[in-house]
A and B are shown apart, each in its own frame.
Chain A
């Protein structure tokens, strides 16, 4: 049952031309990012002050330094408000509701599809970036990341994978926040602008929210265990949006 709901949601997401175009643009930007890193001579930054030379082992995380902004502020809010708000406000959602599935299962399927798209994008980025690093940048036997001891190739790969897992958590928090806002807002414009406005407005509350602007910088700090507050913040954002969604999706009069 769940599998079929999932498949139908997956098909609907990819029936929107926007999804395909958005993914193609993202892949083009990955290419541009590679060109950019090549043009500046393989130099990137842990944060504003500390620069680092790229090599075959450490290239992948730095791709998210610039691409993170595109994912957080453009691609994910667009996908999420189309999936969680667009269908509902345009009335197309009634056709899905003709079937007797549980409402909450539909919500889980939507969340899962959005998350799996982000997983695919991150996996593609990791693959392209790693291959690019091996081909273009100098080859080294060991490498140290932000405040770590020198790591062997296998350890370095594990570090990079951990980096991408945390990056996924951050992006998943954006999906969750966006879905909660989209479930509440009366139309797509407000759910899109509301999501982006929430992410920007939170920086006035606490500096930890700059994580959405500086995805890679903050993840390096988290992985060097300098501060775990951001991670805690991300997890609580996911939890709070889940509670809001659960309440809204179970209580709402969907046909009204």
Chain B
């Protein structure tokens, strides 16, 4: 199993695309920086939305968590799962005496590792970009927290934020991994994946039309059944002085993970990779 994971890991880094994804991080962060610099002009330094070197890792992440990170997950799982199946190179692995389940689990763990590496690189480079682009105040405001925080406290906050963002992204990865593992072609995998993402963006907004009909409490609960919405607002609520919807959001993430991890196991046992 360890050897299987190692070979999988090597194959991830053999692809030029993986390197391209990681090399694009500085460009993405520069785009995000130029965007929030414009926002700063309209803000004063004592509000949480004001970007400094200390909170740029978060401002730069929440700007891109929607688009770039979902895209990275899509590309990673499409390459790791569907592409090998489609061009039949997976047969080379099946020659060895591993079961389907072992292969799928090692692919799953390796894609999580690659995603975690992407998050870590993003955090490190965003500090570097933040140092160049923004001023370094002695203290700053955090979202939904009383008083001001020191740079060290904000580092702890950033780490917590990235940790939760990674956990929620793993739930998303599990969903997309399942879609990729049952799709026969990469375009079908990505199309269905983007469909799921668009659906996750749209239905929380559609539900708000029905607020008078079903009540505000239920609308908020339905709103936070969508992973992108949890990533957008739920994380800052979770890290607030008085957490809001914390249990609900963690429960939703856990249910997504359990459901789709179970489905992956079922699909791995049923799918005939020799087809």
Q: Interface residues, chain A, CB within 8 Å of chain B?
A: 18, 22, 36, 40, 66, 69-70, 73-75, 77-78, 81-82, 86, 90, 187-190, 192-193, 196-197, 200, 204
Given A74-B191, A74-B198, A196-B194, are A204 and B35 neighbors across the interface (CB < 8 Å)? Answer: yes
* B209 sits at the interface (CB 8 A): yes
- On whether the beta carbons of B198 and A192 are closer than 8 Å, the reply is no
Bound complex: CA A192 to CA B191 (Å)? 8
Question: Which residues in B have their C-beta under 8 angstroms from that of A40?
Answer: 209
Query: What's the minimum C-beta distance from B184 to chain A, rounded to whole angstroms?
Result: 9
Give the dominant DSSP class at A's interface. helix
Closest 4 CB pairs of A and B: A78-B191, A189-B78, A192-B190, A188-B186
Q: Which of B90-123 contact A (CB under 8 A)?
A: none
* B187 sits at the interface (CB 8 A): yes
Question: Which residues in B have their C-beta under 8 angstroms from that of A90?
Answer: 87
Contact of B17 among A22, A190, A192, A204 (CB under 8 A): A190
Give the dominant DSSP class at B's interface. helix
Contact of B75 among A18, A82, A189 (CB under 8 A): A189
Query: What's the minimum C-beta distance from A183 to chain B, rounded to whole angstroms?
Result: 15
Contact string, B193-207, partner A, CB cutoff 8 A, digits 1/0? 011001000100010
Given A187-B83, A197-B71, A204-B35, are A192 and B195 neighbors across the interface (CB < 8 Å)? Answer: no
* B31 sits at the interface (CB 8 A): yes
* B158 sits at the interface (CB 8 A): no
- On whether the beta carbons of B190 and A193 are closer than 8 Å, the reply is yes
The 14 sampled A-B contact pairs (Cβ below 8 Å) are A22-B191, A69-B202, A74-B191, A74-B198, A78-B190, A81-B187, A187-B83, A187-B186, A189-B78, A190-B17, A190-B75, A192-B187, A192-B191, A200-B67
Question: Which residues in A have their C-beta under 8 angstroms from that of B87?
Answer: 90
- On whether the beta carbons of B185 and A188 are closer than 8 Å, the reply is yes
- On whether the beta carbons of B187 and A73 are closer than 8 Å, the reply is no
Task: Apart from A74-B198, A189-B78, A204-B31, list 17 A-B contacts with CB within 8 A.
Answer: A18-B185, A18-B187, A18-B191, A22-B191, A36-B206, A66-B202, A69-B202, A70-B195, A74-B191, A78-B187, A82-B185, A82-B187, A189-B17, A189-B83, A192-B186, A193-B71, A197-B71
Contact of B185 among A69, A74, A86 (CB under 8 A): A86
Question: Which residues in A have their C-beta under 8 angstroms from that of B78?
Answer: 189, 193
Query: What's the minimum C-beta distance from B23 to chain A, rounded to whole angstroms?
Result: 15
Given A66-B202, A74-B195, A189-B79, are A18 and B188 neighbors across the interface (CB < 8 Å)? Answer: yes
Question: Which residues in A have their C-beta under 8 angstroms from that of B141?
Answer: none
* B74 sits at the interface (CB 8 A): yes
Q: Which of B29-44 contact A (CB under 8 A)?
A: 31, 35
- On whether the beta carbons of A73 and B185 are closer than 8 Å, the reply is no
Question: Which residues in B have their C-beta under 8 angstroms from that of A190?
Answer: 17, 75
Question: Which residues in A have their C-beta under 8 angstroms from that of B67?
Answer: 200
Given A81-B187, A197-B71, are A73 and B194 neighbors across the interface (CB < 8 Å)? Answer: yes
Question: Which residues in B have their C-beta under 8 angstroms from that of A204?
Answer: 31, 35
Bound complex: CA A237 to CA B190 (Å)? 24
Contact string, B244-272, partner A, CB cutoff 8 A, digits 1/0? 00000000000000000000000000000
- On whether the beta carbons of B187 and A74 are closer than 8 Å, the reply is no
Query: What's the minimum C-beta distance from A114 to chain B, rounded to whole angstroms?
Result: 14
Given A36-B206, A40-B209, are A77 and B198 neighbors across the interface (CB < 8 Å)? Answer: no
Given A189-B79, A200-B67, A204-B31, are A69 and B187 neighbors across the interface (CB < 8 Å)? Answer: no
Query: What's the minimum C-beta distance from B200 to chain A, rounded to whole angstroms?
Result: 13
Query: What's the minimum C-beta distance from A171 to chain B, rounded to whole angstroms?
Result: 16
Contact of A74 among B17, B83, B194, B209 (CB under 8 A): B194
Name the CB-closest residue of A to B213. Answer: A39
Bound complex: CA A22 to CA B191 (Å)? 10
Name the CB-closest residue of A to B77. Answer: A189
Bound complex: CA A188 to CA B74 (Å)? 13
Query: What's the minimum C-beta distance from B91 to chain A, rounded to whole angstroms?
Result: 16
Query: What's the minimum C-beta distance from B14 to chain A, rounded to whole angstroms?
Result: 14
Question: Which residues in A have their C-beta under 8 angstroms from that of B190?
Answer: 78, 189, 192-193
Bound complex: CA A74 to CA B202 (Å)? 14
Name the CB-closest residue of A to B192. Answer: A74
- On whether the beta carbons of B187 and A70 are closer than 8 Å, the reply is no
Bound complex: CA A187 to CA B87 (Å)? 11
Name the CB-closest residue of B to A41. Answer: B209
Query: What's the minimum C-beta distance from B256 to chain A, rounded to whole angstroms?
Result: 21
Name the CB-closest residue of A to B16. Answer: A186
Bound complex: CA A168 to CA B202 (Å)? 23
- On whether the beta carbons of A193 and B187 are closer than 8 Å, the reply is no
Name the CB-closest residue of A to B189. Answer: A189
Name the CB-closest residue of B to A83. Answer: B187
Question: Which residues in A have their C-beta under 8 angstroms from that of B198?
Answer: 69-70, 73-74
